[in-house]
Structure 1
Amino acid sequence: MAYRSSLAEHLDPAAARKERGAFFTPPQIASFLTSETILSRDDRVLEPSCGEAEFVLAACGRLRALGHESGQFNKQVFAYELHEASARAATARLERAGFSCVCETGDFLAKEATASFDAVVGNPPYVRFQGVSAKDRLRQRELAQRMGVDLSALSSMWAPFILHACEFLLPGGRLGLVLPAELLTVNYAAPIRSFLLKSFARVSLYTFDVNVFPEVQEEVVLLVAKGYLMDPAEHLEWFQCESLRDLGVKTSLRFTPKEVGARWSEGLASASSRDVLDSLASQGSLSELRCWGSLTLGAVTGANAYFSLSEESAAQFGLVQGRDVIPLCPAGSRHLRRRDLDEGAFRSLSAKGAPTLLFAPSEELSPEALAYISMGEKMQIDKRYKCRKRSPWWRVPLPAVPDAFITYMNSFGPNICANSVSVPHLNSCHGIRFQDGLKDLGTSSLPIAAFNSATLLSAELVGRSYGGGIQKLEPREAAKVMTPSPQIVESIRCQLESMRASFDDYLESGDFETAVSAVDYVVLAQGLGMSEEQIQLVQEEFRRVRERRKNRSRGR
């Protein structure tokens, strides 16, 4: 059975819980959020997705602690739960604890709102947009229109839950919610971020350096918003907690987003380090990566194991390079942890059996290509989603060959790798095509110059943390990573070129820390003219934020 669930697996299978986005909340979190949002024994409280009543139990306990002598809360505490068996288990659990309140089975998003509650608490379901039905999507659009929020069709279920929960709040009401850290980073959450600051007088965030949810690797944040429809909040109160032990103990930091809807993830870094980056950007010393050129997505084959082949596999099927297959940057990014994917590096990959060839037959199909296509159809490769959407199914659309690659799933941080061998890439990395006049500088010097603490800290702030402590950069996020400007890189080009051999050795041996320190000396000190104090600040902040991301994968 699931964490803190009383239901056996056959009554509530893991797959069913995942489909409806049900993840059970640790009692310490429920207790903390109810204490922050329920301030009077007379407060009316709503829990929109109660599961097996962790928040409802905490809410009733909080009301009793505030002086409510009875355990009868039928006119004061209300809960909804989509899953009938969970709703029954919630009611039974409350009865065992001596509490009575309304726990109704039904879809909260389908409930007509009445602004009659002082507090809404809970853990909204985490269902990605792909799992939202057409009926629910229509309902969400209507909700967004009512609330005056431009909610994206890509929004996960927790976003409309916030909006609908606010429809139940009285003026001055309070929210206490467990939310995915997507709130801080993703583009579709920008209208929600703006709505919260505009609609509440005080908005507080609680983030954690370690994973505090037993069932999921997804990072969570706690949101406490107070003073609904009062004066808008001027800033966020941010409590950066190491673990659950810090709840209610840590002192808050003040974070003011740069603009409406701006990402809140920048608040993970100290204000002093952000000031250094902002100052360098305002001087033109640091510029976003998109100032160097455009970022491109890699090719999507729909079946990498079929379309990408090693030289040995191609030979077994009689596929000839230039006729049936073409050179390819293999899937993954470990082989891109280098300054340049040149002929020598590419030959080495091929010799080790890496899939460095892509099935891309010429217009006049050879007998061997026809046989390979027939084999793919027998394997039903043509029935796979991406394949059946194109015609012919076996022709993979290729983007323009990039000048360089940038890794986007990172443990340490992203790096840029020149594409001297001029091969196309798959969607396991992004491509960069440099602007006119910048290709030579970009391919020869930017891969070294961009491996500095300021750029890597910037990547931590614009990217997002995924399960296992991995940093992910979507193309639009990677485009915003702050790198030394072309003018700065040109000014230190000779120094950068002189350290090529040592930089290559550091990356080859996996000694990324030493590589960054060496680049910092050239880029931050000589190129950007940063003081020793500023360099140390940025270096320490990059290490701290990176370690926070990695530590979250190690649990409590």
Structure 2
Amino acid sequence: MHGVQMETIEQLVAACLALGAEDVSGWSEAEKELANTAAQPVSAVNELRAAILAGMDPLGDAFCRIRSAEDRRPQGQTYTPAPIVNAMIAWTLTQPSPARVVDPGVGSARFLLAAATAHPDAELIGADLDPIAGLMARANLATAGHSERARIELIDYRSLNLPKIEGTTAYVGNPPYVRHHGITPAWKKWLTATSQLHGYKASQLAGLHVHFFLATLSHARTGDYGTFVTSSEWLDVNYGSLVRQLLVDGLGGESIHVVDPTALPFSDAATTAAITCYQVGKPVESIRMHPVKSLDDLGKLSGGQEVARQRLVEAPRWSPLLRTAAKLPDGYVELGELARVHRGTVTGANRVWVQHRGAVDLPHSVLMSSVTKARELFEAGDSLTDDSALRVVIDLPTDLDVFDADEKKAVERFLRRPEVKATKSGYVATNRRAWWSVGLRKPAPILATYMARRPPAFVRNIAEARHINIAHGVYPRQAMSEPAIARLGDHLRVSVTLGQGRTYAGGLTKFEPREMERLPVPNLEILNDADAQLDSGRAVL
């Protein structure tokens, strides 16, 4: 680390103070408390200063080393590498000169430092909830000589107060990636209320980056512009529809550049990154969609093909718009032509509805052997032939009068249990025809995992097990012979690669049902031909 050893947070804080973050005006109490516990100022301050002035980030690098990726993940702290920062700031140079640059998750101020050079007259504002980030940002900006025009606030970007100014504001940064599980109910209510205020509908399953796009619309005025780098999942998932709506109407989407995870856009997170450029209030006739294989291809974010507004509005997912569908080999079709792919049923409370055999006194007819863990499919190999080791899902009918008197008494005793009654008011239960009826799908001939750090497991379901939402079921659209189903499973097992799915922050690759339906497979004629030899790319007759 440039000869300067910072192995603890206290040493990092001391370095920030030594570099010029000691002016406590505007500090939060959390920052002042950190400063009071810091070690003595580090030596070799000049070396740190020289590294910062040379465009490096020794403070941010030390922070990422001291606090592991796992420890930073709850706050969504993924620091952006220089090639992405530089490309995004280069794009801002193609827009009107901003009077103000705002970074919604400032971290160590990598974006603001680059923006300060590109826009020497702009005010610089950064928001972050981590007091250590606040100190790093202050120290970096002070070292580079930008303190007088910079303001760092320890505040949630959604609550940031941005006074009206003359001129435009550029919003640039890497919104923190936090899944909805880590977002408080109060902020989920904010998402619903704020989206309704602007005329949109939002899902409370949305991640924090979706909130930040909406917050930007609330902060911005027509003529402002911005570029964010996020995980690309919002392109396709249902809860990302708000961002897609915003870019078509309101935020004024200009271009989307999707960086393949093999390019390693982030050193500590294997993810498909999306760099989104927008011009607030500009009517959208089209948006440029640009698949990026290498960070060297980013340039000034000028690449890509125009996709018309109508296609954007009609498309349920946007990632297919990034590429022209590859020509299928002769004799091949998309899986969706032969079968529908359905995600397993959501129970709403696995602790209640998923049980070990013998754990509950209920009629045997409602205890369904089920795949409830992806591991069970990975361990099954080609076929699941024995369901004796599987747990059971309690799948009661909506009409309890179908049971005889003794069976109905047993069911009613079960439903009176406090832990069972507690599920009655849950979101899933309240949206069922009967709150107690899970409603499992019928057994799927082929079961498939859909999220892992390895290709999906496609398992022939000889045991006719049911499945919950940890797996997909492949259901033929028309009757298929047992040998044809087996050949279909064999082909999927050897042909599907991780590159055909979408990689999320943390390195998990996911196949949504409709994505799985796009996989190339031999047509029914070939699958029915006992003499056909199948491999990963073609059928040999």
User: Which TM-score band (shorter chain)?
Assistant: 0.5 to 0.7
Equivalence map 1:81-120=2 (5 Å): 81-100=128-147, 101-111=150-160, 114=164, 117-120=168-171
Equivalence map 1:17-416=2 (5 Å): 17-38=72-93, 43-64=99-120, 76-100=123-147, 101-111=150-160, 114=164, 117-198=168-249, 199-200=251-252, 202-208=254-260, 209-225=262-278, 227-242=279-294, 244-248=295-299, 252-254=303-305, 256=307, 258-260=311-313, 262=315, 263-269=317-323, 271=324, 274=325, 276=327, 286=334, 288=336, 292=339, 295-297=342-344, 302=350, 307=355, 329=371, 331-332=373-374, 333-335=377-379, 337-338=381-382, 340-341=383-384, 345-346=385-386, 355-356=389-390, 358=392, 399-407=440-448, 408-409=450-451, 413-414=455-456, 416=458
Aligned to 1:235, what secondary structure does the other structure show?
Answer: strand
Which ranges in structure 1 are unaligned for 5 or more consecutive residues?
366-372, 503-513, 527-556
Structure 1 residue 41: Cα displacement? 5.7
Change in 2 beyond 3 A, CA 1:521/1:148: same
Which ranges in structure 2 are unaligned for 5 or more consecutive residues?
1-7, 10-57, 396-402, 408-413, 430-435
Identity over aligned pairs, percent: 19
Aligned to 2:263, what secondary structure does the other structure show?
Answer: coil
Write the letter of the residue equivalent to 1:110: S
Tell me, yes or no, if the aligned pair for 1:325 and 1:357 is still in contact at 8 Å: no
Name the structure 2 match of 1:508: none
Write the letter of the residue equivalent to 2:378: R
Structure 1 residue 79: Cα displacement? 2.2
Change in 2 beyond 3 A, CA 1:12/1:430: closer
Change in 2 beyond 3 A, CA 1:131/1:360: closer
Q: Tell me the distance in 2 between the aligned counterparts of 1:328 and 1:356.
A: 6
Tell me, yes or no, if the aligned pair for 2:79 and 2:107 is still in contact at 8 Å: yes
Tell me, yes or no, if the aligned pair for 2:288 and 2:303 is still in contact at 8 Å: no
Query: How does the TM-score come out when normalised to structure 2?
Result: 0.66
Q: Tell me the distance in 2 between the aligned counterparts of 1:248 and 1:401.
A: 51
- Indicate whether 1:464 and 2:519 are aligned: no
Tell me, yes or no, if the aligned pair for 1:413 and 1:456 is still in contact at 8 Å: no
Structure 1 residue 268: Cα displacement? 5.0
Deviations 1:347-384 (A, max 9, x none): xx97xxxx34649799989xxxxxxx9xxx9xxxx79x
Counterpart pick for 1:420 among 440, 462, 481: 462
111-120 or 186-195, which deviates more: 111-120
Equivalence map 1:471-490=2 (5 Å): 471-475=509-513, 477-478=515-516, 480-481=517-518, 489=524
Structure 1 residue 32: Cα displacement? 2.5
Q: Tell me the distance in 2 between the aligned counterparts of 1:277 and 1:414.
A: 21
Name the structure 2 match of 1:431: 473
Change in 2 beyond 3 A, CA 1:400/1:194: closer
Q: Would you say how many aligned residue pairs link Structure 1 and Structure 2?
A: 447
Tell me, yes or no, if the aligned pair for 2:334 and 2:518 is still in contact at 8 Å: no
Change in 2 beyond 3 A, CA 1:473/1:386: farther
Structure 1 residue 119: Cα displacement? 1.1
Write the letter of the residue equivalent to 2:111: F
Tell me, yes or no, if the aligned pair for 2:255 and 2:276 is still in contact at 8 Å: yes
Structure 1 residue 122: Cα displacement? 1.0
Change in 2 beyond 3 A, CA 1:451/1:183: farther
Tell me, yes or no, if the aligned pair for 2:89 and 2:115 is still in contact at 8 Å: yes
Structure 1 residue 337: Cα displacement? 4.8
Deviations 1:377-405 (A, max 9, x none): 9xxxx79x989989xxxx99672441323
Write the letter of the residue equivalent to 1:266: P
Query: How does the TM-score come out when normalised to structure 1?
Result: 0.64
